[in-house]
């Protein structure tokens, strides 16, 4: 019995002496703030509040990152056979014929505000160009400015995404660590507008969220710089095709049951014209339609848009539709409607049906549930 006790004591002492002691950098007594730990790697305990930050900083993704399950539409511009222009002269005169223009005989005025038209081939008379904008309506070339529709397009999702992905909205250089004051990663190129990235991890530092988009590549989750797409659970009692519009991210994704099949950027309502959250249904589809109106008492916000393409109304006067007049997708822009790039609006128009569910939501909870909006 005495020999057993002595042997156990010897083994205990040996274990105590020869087992390596924990490093202070892993289990030190003095905890650090996350901000301090980021700039003093190896000097703070990993079991403190900044431990996960340091572990992620030490963590390296594999050389060959998994590809996203997405592919480009690779389709030609769908509006190539149309010419678009903004009326740049307030109350520009519109004539019933070119002869009336030279006779100073106006049919009407264009009005002033946000006014866009489509036009046919030019007619030159006495060295001056005119364009026909409608049947029996002509305008001087000098009163309009040509507009080129956006070439941006979303992606076909070939398999359910395994992680969030998204588009860069403004040029940004990734950082080596999730810290506004962290060193820029000079080994990778700057990310530019409409570049697609995947998110491999996300981390909250203070009141900011950071996204790991590659090896030692962190960017802040700021809606000015990036718009994300994540798989959204099916709304209750929804079957078949449905559309999800994320007002915070300014993205849209199309689903067949619980499987994402398409994703892109949008521009929803801005300010008091916010797009209203809720669950709606597509109740009318129009390949092309004019839109006009004003909300201010003095009509200072008047808009008139001809031939708005691939329009699908889902909430009273609110619609998903193509927008040929801007290339600011990913940012709020509209009077309440959900703007899509022309290629995206055509894809969605062909895919969706009358009765397709449109689920509009804001994960941040900031968007009011009421709106004064109702236009493009």
Beta bridge partners of 252: 245, 264
Quote the CA–CA distance of 205 and 178 in Å, as a whole number.
7
- Tell me whether residue 73 is in a domain: no
Instruction: Say if residues 323 and 291 touch (Cβ distance below 8 Å).
Output: no
Residues 26-56 as b/e (b if ≥16 CB within 10 A, e otherwise) read eebeeebebeebbeeeeebbbebebbbbbeb
**Final residue of a structural domain among 189, 204, 228:** 228
**Final residue of a structural domain among 195, 228, 261:** 228
- Tell me whether residue 19 is in a domain: yes
- Tell me whether residue 371 is in a domain: no
Tokens of 233: 């659970």
Closest alpha carbon to 262 in 356, 148, 369? 356
1: Cβ contacts below 8 Å, ≥ 6 apart: none
In this structure, the answer to whether residues 122 and 88 fall within a common structural domain is yes
Residue 20 or 178, more confident:
178
Instruction: Say if residues 314 and 281 touch (Cβ distance below 8 Å).
Output: yes
- Tell me whether residue 133 is in a domain: yes
Quote the CA–CA distance of 336 and 371 in Å, as a whole number.
8
Whose tokens are 């860069």? That residue is 168
For the cut 90, the answer to whether the pLDDT of residue 376 exceeds it is no
Which of 18-27, 36-45, 127-136, 324-333 is predicted with the least confidence, judged by mean pLDDT?
18-27
Residue 109: CATH number of its domain: 2.30.30
Confidence of residue 20 (pLDDT cuts 50, 70, 90): very low
- Tell me whether residue 274 is in a domain: yes
Instruction: Say if residues 329 and 320 touch (Cβ distance below 8 Å).
Output: no
Tokens of 339: 């703007």
In this structure, the answer to whether residues 224 and 240 fall within a common structural domain is no
- Tell me whether residue 152 is in a domain: no
Sequence-ordered alpha helix ranges (H) in 28-127: 34-39, 51-58, 98-102
- Tell me whether residue 286 is in a domain: yes
> Domain range for residue 134?
83-147
Most confident range (mean pLDDT) of 41-45, 199-203, 237-241, 348-352 is 348-352
**Final residue of a structural domain among 204, 228, 252:** 228
Residue 257: CATH number of its domain: 2.40.440.10
Instruction: Say if residues 92 and 119 touch (Cβ distance below 8 Å).
Output: no
Angle at 243 between CA 228 and CA 155, to 5 degrees: 50
| 106 SS3 class | coil
In this structure, the answer to whether residues 240 and 354 fall within a common structural domain is yes
Averaged pLDDT, 138-165: 96
**Cα torsion 257, 259, 264, 266: sign:** positive
In this structure, the answer to whether residues 280 and 176 fall within a common structural domain is no
Distance between terminal CA atoms of the chain? 91
In this structure, the answer to whether residues 126 and 181 fall within a common structural domain is no
In this structure, the answer to whether residues 281 and 185 fall within a common structural domain is no
- Residues above pLDDT 90, as percent of the chain: 66
β 303-315/114-119 pair status: parallel
Confidence of residue 219 (pLDDT cuts 50, 70, 90): very high
Beta bridge partners of 278: 360
In this structure, the answer to whether residues 239 and 335 fall within a common structural domain is yes
Tokens of 164: 């969030």
- Tell me whether residue 137 is in a domain: yes
Residue 83 or 30, more confident:
83
What is the distance of C-alpha 364 from the center of its chain? 15
In this structure, the answer to whether residues 244 and 218 fall within a common structural domain is no
In this structure, the answer to whether residues 115 and 87 fall within a common structural domain is yes
Phi-psi label, residue 158: left if phi above 0, alpha if psi -120 to 50, beta otherwise: alpha
- Residues above pLDDT 70, as percent of the chain: 82
Confidence of residue 74 (pLDDT cuts 50, 70, 90): confident
Tokens of 133: 């904008």
Confidence (pLDDT) at 17: 40
In this structure, the answer to whether residues 90 and 181 fall within a common structural domain is no
Domain count along the chain: 4
For the cut 60, the answer to whether the pLDDT of residue 139 exceeds it is yes
In this structure, the answer to whether residues 222 and 239 fall within a common structural domain is no
In this structure, the answer to whether residues 281 and 177 fall within a common structural domain is no
């Amino acid at each position: 019995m005495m020999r057993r006790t002595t042997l156990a004591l010897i083994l205990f002492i040996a274990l105590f002496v020869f087992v390596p002691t924990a490093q202070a950098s892993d289990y030190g007594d003095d905890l650090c703030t996350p901000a301090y730990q980021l700039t003093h790697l190896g000097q703070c305990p990993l079991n403190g509040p900044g431990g996960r930050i340091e572990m992620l900083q030490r963590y390296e993704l594999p050389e060959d990152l998994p590809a996203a399950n997405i592919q480009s539409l690779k389709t030609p511009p769908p509006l190539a056979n149309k010419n678009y222009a903004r009326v740049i002269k307030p109350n520009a005169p519109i004539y019933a014929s070119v002869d009336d223009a030279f006779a100073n005989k106006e049919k009407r005025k264009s009005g002033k505000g946000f006014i866009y038209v489509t036009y046919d081939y030019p007619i030159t008379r006495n060295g001056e160009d005119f364009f026909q904008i409608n049947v029996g309506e002509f305008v001087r070339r000098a009163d309009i400015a040509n507009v080129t529709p956006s070439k941006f397009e979303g992606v076909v999702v070939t398999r359910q995404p395994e992680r969030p992905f998204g588009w860069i909205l403004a040029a940004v250089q990734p950082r080596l660590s999730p810290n506004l004051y962290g060193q820029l990663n000079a080994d990778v190129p700057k990310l530019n507008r409409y570049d697609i990235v995947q998110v491999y991890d996300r981390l909250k530092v203070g009141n900011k969220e950071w996204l790991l988009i590659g090896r030692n590549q962190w960017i802040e989750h700021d809606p000015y710089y990036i718009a994300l797409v994540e798989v959204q659970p099916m709304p209750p009692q929804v079957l078949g095709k449905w559309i999800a519009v994320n007002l915070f991210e300014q993205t849209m994704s199309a689903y067949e049951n619980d499987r994402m099949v398409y994703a892109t950027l949008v521009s929803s309502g801005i300010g008091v014209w916010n797009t209203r959250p809720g669950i709606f249904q597509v109740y009318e589809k129009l390949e092309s339609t004019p839109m006009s109106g004003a909300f201010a008492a003095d009509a200072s916000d008047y808009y008139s848009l001809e031939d708005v393409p691939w329009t699908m109304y889902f909430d009273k006067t609110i619609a998903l539709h193509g927008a040929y007049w801007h290339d600011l997708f990913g940012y709020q822009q509209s009077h309440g409607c959900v703007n899509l790039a022309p290629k995206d609006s055509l894809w969605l128009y062909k895919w969706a049906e009358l009765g397709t569910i449109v689920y509009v939501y804001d994960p941040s909870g900031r968007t009011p549930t009421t709106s004064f909006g109702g236009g493009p």
